[in-house]
């Protein structure tokens, strides 16, 4: 890149910060509109490349309907109200919060990251590693990601997603369980838990509840719960 190119891109960055449109930039710098638009995209992509994954713009964030069933949502009434299925006696969601986050990667690309969270006991059970795709692919990817659920996913803020995931991990660690492999790499895209968010009471009705999955070692899980919680301080349904 020549010195002239660097100066031109720097001038475009300055004009974009001031809120100038590509058309206005073209006029100010004596460029053809198509040339100005291409350079604006180049500046935007360079800015994203130099931005930490968790600071890139959020394109969308979702969680399955019914995720809050059985949780203590006293400090998060707005989140509970936004999930009416979670207030039903048996919504059939199994104590899971399945979260999908999409962040801007480049002008027409996004990075999607997913977390399957057992909000009753085990915390993050599975992670969908960060994957880059075209922005238009989200219209088919999101329904596919939530195809196991009867209801459409709920759009949520990234702060809510960060709170659910990180607090569930902390809850599970208190019970003796670590998050699934790949969590650290995925958490880089999720970002840290904001300090100003409400506290969720995990466990089913304020008590650890383990429902065994097909890839679990249920005997080991129950043994850990027996050691960390003590007899009668947890519930479980498992084939031992």
Tens digit of pLDDT at every position of the chain (240 positions): 566 667 777 787 777 777 788 888 888 888 888 887 777 777 666 666 667 889 899 999 999 999 999 999 999 999 999 999 999 877 787 799 999 999 998 778 899 999 999 999 999 999 999 999 999 999 999 999 999 999 999 999 999 999 999 999 999 999 999 999 999 999 999 999 999 999 999 999 999 999 998 889 999 999 999 999 999 999 999 875
Separation between Cα atoms, residue 104 and residue 198, nearest integer Å:
27
Q: What phi and psi, each to the nearest 5 degrees, are found at residue 235?
A: -125, 155
Q: Judging by beta carbons within 10 Å of its beta carbon (0-12, 13-18, 19+), is residue 146 exposed, middle or buried?
A: buried
Cβ 130 vs Cβ 184: under 8 Å: no
Those residues with Cβ within 8 angstroms of residue 78's Cβ, 6 or more apart along the chain or in another chain:
none
């Amino acid at each position: 890149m020549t010195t002239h190119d660097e100066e031109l891109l720097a001038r475009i960055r300055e004009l974009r910060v001031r809120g100038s449109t590509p058309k206005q930039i073209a006029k100010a710098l004596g460029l053809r509109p198509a040339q100005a638009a291409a350079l604006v995209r180049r500046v935007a992509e360079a800015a994203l490349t130099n931005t930490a994954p968790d600071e890139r713009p959020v394109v969308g964030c979702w969680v399955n309907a019914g995720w809050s069933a059985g949780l203590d949502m006293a400090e998060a009434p707005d989140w509970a109200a936004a999930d009416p299925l979670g207030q039903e006696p048996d919504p059939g969601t199994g104590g899971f919060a399945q979260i999908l986050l999409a962040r801007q990667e480049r002008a027409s690309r996004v990075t999607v990251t997913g977390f399957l969270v057992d909000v009753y006991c085990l915390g993050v059970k599975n992670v969908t590693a960060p994957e880059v795709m075209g922005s238009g692919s989200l219209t088919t990817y999101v329904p596919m990601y939530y195809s196991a659920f009867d209801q459409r996913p709920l759009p949520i803020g990234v702060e809510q997603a960060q709170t659910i995931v990180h607090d569930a991990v902390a809850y599970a660690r208190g019970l003796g369980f670590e998050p699934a492999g790949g969590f650290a790499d995925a958490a880089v895209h999720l970002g840290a838990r904001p300090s100003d968010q409400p506290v969720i009471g995990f466990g089913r009705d304020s008590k650890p509840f383990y429902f065994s999955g097909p890839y679990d070692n249920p005997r080991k899980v129950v043994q850990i719960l027996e050691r960390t919680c003590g007899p009668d301080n947890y519930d479980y349904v498992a084939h031992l």
